[in-house]
Amino acid sequence: MASIKDKFNRRKPLPPFSIRLTKEERQKLDQLAQGTSLAEYIRSRIFDGNAPVNRTKGRFPVKDEQALSQILGMLGQSRIPNNINQLAKAVNSGTLPVTPYTEKQLHEACYSATWIRRQLIQALGLKAD
């Protein structure tokens, strides 16, 4: 990383450089940088115009777009966050009756959450812990 010396001869990192762009300029830059960080794209264009730009789809490229959209759709239609919140409130207030039915439902919810996690990990091409 580049640095400069201050009046006491100590090394300090250079301050970041910023530039104002119009909305249209920013959209064009985002489109050109497609899949890389803006900083990486700009550096490659300014300092080494012949260098190929490493294009990815974000930090974790999606391996299976269809599976990911299916899972995200299912999550959007589910009431999992609301139900978990209601369970937490019932547990905290001591009003959650633990019956065989309740226990079965909790096990099914845990299984569903685990299944969704596995599917997301697979769709994103990540390794499970």
Tell me which of 8, 31, 59 is where a domain ends.
59
Residues 50 and 79 in one domain: no
Residues 53 and 69 in one domain: no
What is the rounded CA–CA span in Å between residue 3 and residue 11?
6
Residues 51 and 86 in one domain: no
What is the rounded CA–CA span in Å between residue 38 and residue 32?
9
Judge whether 109 lies within some domain: yes
pTM metric for this prediction: 0.42
Binning pLDDT at 50, 70 and 90, where does residue 58 land?
Answer: low
Structural domain count, the chain: 2
Phi, psi of 125 (to 5 degrees): 75, 30
Segment 7-39, tens digit of pLDDT: 676 777 778 888 899 999 998 988 888 778 888
pLDDT at residue 22, rounded to an integer: 94
